[in-house]
Amino acid sequence: MSQEIPAIPTTVTGPSMRQVRNVNETIADYVALMKPGILTLLLATTLGGMLVAAERVPALSLIVATMIGGILSAGGANVLNCYIDRDIDQLMHRTKKRGTATGRISPKAALTYGLVLTVSSVVVFAIFVNWLAAVLSLVGNVYYVMIYTRLLKRKTPQNIVIGGAAGAMPPMVGWAAATGHLSVAAVLLFAVIYYWTPPHFWALALLKHGEYGRAAVPMLPVIAGEGETRRQMMLYTILLAAVSLLLVGFGLSWIYLIGAVILNGIFLGLVIWLCKSPSKKVARHVFFYSLWYLFLIFGVMVADRLVLA
């Protein structure tokens, strides 16, 4: 009597391609909530603050710990911002695909994620860096979430001006990480980003005027008009140039002075161009240059400090 040969099972027990794709999309959604583009800028200014503050290049372990803490802190603040703004994010083209706006990430999951990142950042800074850096980082996080996002963003066209203090904290965190204390120069680094913030974000607001209007966010172009926005951009660009030049004499010298004069001259020239020939094309030039400006001005600071040291 012949014996039947058992059939070879054909069912694949591993994860399907669709499941793998879903996992990858979910991971991408969570990473996107941290706003990687903004993180890059914040980390650059944090590292810049460290390198300008230190008499020599800090230990690699300290730099790595500070960068990880910065990613967790700023990332946590950005996630909590997305959690709070999930309703208006649905109304704006550049934000409507965020996981919190589409519903792919639940409000509870986003809140938990943001809080875990924030608490983790404090732990990393406190254990591997120092408590001053931990406190400054937490202050920046809470200020961005509670003062800017919760209290100011939907209530006043000065939201960017007052709320800009949050984005100006990273170089102070870097300074504290490298030295364990603050100084006048650290405050001036804070001031550079503080006065940079309005012309940078108002250039974006000029480009996204309609979106902010639909979402009822009282950005300056929506409330005061584009002409007043351009005049305010001019004022803050002049203040930015003045504040940045004050750094000469506080540890920075001729290399930085030359670079700062050139970079601020270009920035001011672009804003003058915007005032004389208002258009979205010129506003876009101002916006993208403002991003490069911050990288370059801190790069010149570091070059001056390292070369002369």
CATH number at residue 306: 1.20.120
Q: Which residue has tokens 């960017």?
A: 160
| Average pLDDT, integer, range 111-125 | 98
**Class of residue 26 by CB neighbours under 10 A (exposed 0-12, middle 13-18, buried 19+):** middle
Is 47 in the same domain as 170?
yes
DSSP SS3 for 252? strand
| Average pLDDT, integer, range 2-17 | 56
Is 90 in the same domain as 130?
yes
Is 170 in the same domain as 187?
no
19 assigned to some structural domain: no
8 assigned to some structural domain: no
Reading the block at residue 175, the tokens are 């300074």
Q: Tell me the pLDDT band of 215, cut-offs 50, 70 and 90.
A: confident
Given 132, 155, 180, the domain boundary residue is: 180
- Per DSSP, 242 falls in state H
Q: What local confidence, expressed as pLDDT, does residue 4 receive? A: 54
User: Domain containing 243: what range?
Assistant: 183-309
Q: What local confidence, expressed as pLDDT, does residue 128 receive? A: 98
Is 156 in the same domain as 232?
no
| Average pLDDT, integer, range 188-200 | 97
The answer, yes or no, to whether residue 1 has pLDDT greater than 60, is: no
Q: What local confidence, expressed as pLDDT, does residue 237 receive? A: 98
Is 122 in the same domain as 171?
yes
The answer, yes or no, to whether residue 22 has pLDDT greater than 90, is: no
Q: What local confidence, expressed as pLDDT, does residue 9 receive? A: 54
- Per DSSP, 157 falls in state T
Q: How many CB atoms lie within 10 A of CB 54?
A: 20
Is 167 in the same domain as 196?
no
Number of folded domains in the chain? 2
Is 77 in the same domain as 133?
yes
**Class of residue 37 by CB neighbours under 10 A (exposed 0-12, middle 13-18, buried 19+):** exposed
- Measure the CA–CA gap between 79 and 85, rounded to whole angstroms: 10
DSSP SS3 for 1? coil
Given 162, 180, 198, the domain boundary residue is: 180
- Measure the CA–CA gap between 165 and 181, rounded to whole angstroms: 19
Is 39 in the same domain as 124?
yes
Give the chain's mean pLDDT.
92
Is 280 in the same domain as 306?
yes
Given 165, 180, 195, the domain boundary residue is: 180
HSE-CB for 140 with a 13 A CA cutoff: 32
Amino acid in the structure at residue 243: V
CATH number at residue 165: 1.10.357.140
Q: What local confidence, expressed as pLDDT, does residue 210 receive? A: 85
Is 103 in the same domain as 173?
yes
Is 165 in the same domain as 44?
yes
Is 198 in the same domain as 253?
yes
20 assigned to some structural domain: no
157 assigned to some structural domain: yes
Q: Which of 4-18, 108-122, 137-151 has the lowest mean pLDDT?
A: 4-18
| Average pLDDT, integer, range 64-91 | 96
DSSP SS3 for 248? strand
DSSP SS3 for 4? coil
Contact (CB, 8 A) for 189 and 251 = no
Vertex 36, ends 237 and 104: CA angle to 5°? 125
**Nearest Cα to 165, choosing from 189, 200, 140?**
140
198 assigned to some structural domain: yes
pLDDT, tens only, 79-107: 999 999 999 999 988 899 999 999 999 99
10 assigned to some structural domain: no
Amino acid in the structure at residue 77: A
The answer, yes or no, to whether residue 24 has pLDDT greater than 90, is: no
13 assigned to some structural domain: no
168 assigned to some structural domain: yes
